[in-house]
Amino acid sequence: MTAMLNSTTRPNWLRPAVLAALAQHSETLKNSVEAEQDEDGFFLYDLDYLEQHLSVLMQQEVIKLWFAVKANPLSRVISTLAQQGFNFDVASQGELTQVLAQNVQADCILNTGPAKSKRQMKAFLSQGVRTFVVESLNQLQWLNEAAIELACQPQVLLRVQLQWQEGEKNPLGGNEVTPFGLSCQEWQTIKVSHFPALNINGLHIFQWGNMLCNARMYELWSQMVTPLLSLAEQLGMRLEVLDLGGGLGVDYLQTGQGLSWKKIVADLAKIKAQAGVSELWLELGRFAVADMGYYVTSVVDRKKNFQQQQLVLAGGINHLIRPAITEQPFPVAMLRESAASPCYFDLHGPLCTSLDKLGTLAIASDVDVGDQLILGLAGAYGFTESMPFFLCHQIAAEYVLQQGKVEQVRAAEPAAWYLR
């Protein structure tokens, strides 16, 4: 790996410890097969930074924090979160197996996700999970039946889908009706007393995506309290838990905006008091782990089309598809030192589709074939949002940086590893 960016040009998301570790790692792997595989793209997670970040999040007594495993299910990431006192939001048997394998206790696990069959919920109960977010009338009945069969009483939160003022974008994703939970009107057809095997004591409201404004978040949280309290009363429920989901944003576009965790805690203390609940939950994904992650890949080609500079990279949406589906590119920098002025480039990956674009971003104008680029904020929805099977590309390697040392947790795997 070549020389690093100097301190005058290094972006704030690219920490010196990461640059030093990458340089040392590159020197160690020089001319090895592993180095050749890594040129196609690999992930690095700074667990030293993650531990510090999580410690800050846990220094409060207002919110019970859960980690949305879908953001990053790597074993070492889960272990670091568990050591800092996080609980875990899992939405599949695969996620559950991975979390339990890291010696996380089942009573620290919350089962979410819209597609929960009776078979799955019974399997979760059999493995010791006792907290569920229920999405439908069917799920409520199935869980009650499974709890009777297994002689247990799981805790249940009903997921509620609210509609917003006419013309206002639904934070759940556009103005579409989603499969997450039910409307208040649908939930009003039941009484909690009709499900004696369940401890139905909470409501869950799925959050909007990547919010960056504290004031706007507090405004929306405040709007939720009245309809949720009314619903709990109509259901005959003693509302003890309110789960506000996730959605806390990360400034991918580097606009200078960003959420204040201190303000979030203060705002949620007010919401907790307004709702009169004993517990307030958040399920964090990107806000917990995005900053710790990096993706490194190489420039394969540089060209100019219709006055637009283009870079073709060894890795693209085959390793991280998020920019293509959100139009929020990961920030990027060149690894080697350069004093050249920045220039905007279209960044394209190796796939034969126009979808494979990582954004139009400013990079030092002397970037060329063979240079390595590093993308930041890739600790969440990077590796887990990828499409390596199209064009039969390799699975990216994953490394962790811990106590100043780089360690491979997942080796790069060629297409032969999964092709049949």
Paired tokens of 97 = 């197996």
Amino acid at 69: V
Please name the residue that has the structure tokens 């004591």.
Answer: 201
pTM of the model: 0.93
Measured CA to CA, the distance from residue 268 to residue 263 in angstroms comes to 8
Predicted confidence at residue 72, as pLDDT, reads 98
Rounded Cα–Cα distance for residues 359 and 348 (Å): 8
**Going by C-beta distance under 8 Å and a sequence separation of 6 or more, which residues neighbour residue 78?**
67, 69, 88, 98, 99, 102, 104
**The pair of three-digit structure tokens given for residue 55, joined into one six-digit string:** 């410690």
CA distances from 95 to 73, 113, 326 (A): 7, 11, 24
Residue 199 and residue 175 in contact, taking contact as beta carbons nearer than 8 Å: no
Which run of H or E residues covers position 288?
helix 286-289
CA distance 266 to 60: 10
Give residue 121's pLDDT: 97
- Copy the structure tokens of residue 11: 């972006």
Q: Which helix (H) or strand (E) holds 302?
A: strand 293-305
Helices (H) and strands (E) in the chain, counts: 12, 17
How many angstroms separate the CA atoms of 217 and 211, rounded?
7
Task: Find residue 401's DSSP bridge partners.
Answer: 46, 406
* Residue 95 burial (C-beta neighbours within 10 Å; 0-12, 13-18, 19+): buried
Q: Alpha-carbon distance 282 to 62, whole Å?
A: 10
Q: Please tell me the predicted confidence (pLDDT) of residue 165.
A: 58
CA atoms of 378 and 102, how far apart (whole Å):
22
The region, left, alpha or beta by phi > 0 then psi within -120 to 50, assigned to residue 167 is left
Cβ-contact 313, 351 below 8 angstroms: no
Report the chain (420 residues): mean pLDDT per 10 consecutive residues. 44 93 83 73 97 98 98 98 98 98 98 95 98 97 98 98 60 63 93 96 83 90 92 95 92 92 97 97 96 97 96 96 92 94 96 95 96 97 91 95 94 93
Task: Report the alpha-carbon distance of residue 381 to residue 324 in Å, rounded.
Answer: 12
| Rg of the chain on CA atoms, in Å | 23
Q: Pull the structure tokens for residue 258.
A: 């960003």
How far lies 125's CA from each of 93, 121, 122, 148, in Å?
12, 6, 5, 11
Cα(375)–Cα(2) distance, integer angstroms? 16
**The pLDDT value given to residue 29:** 73
Cβ(240)–Cβ(278) below 8 Å: yes
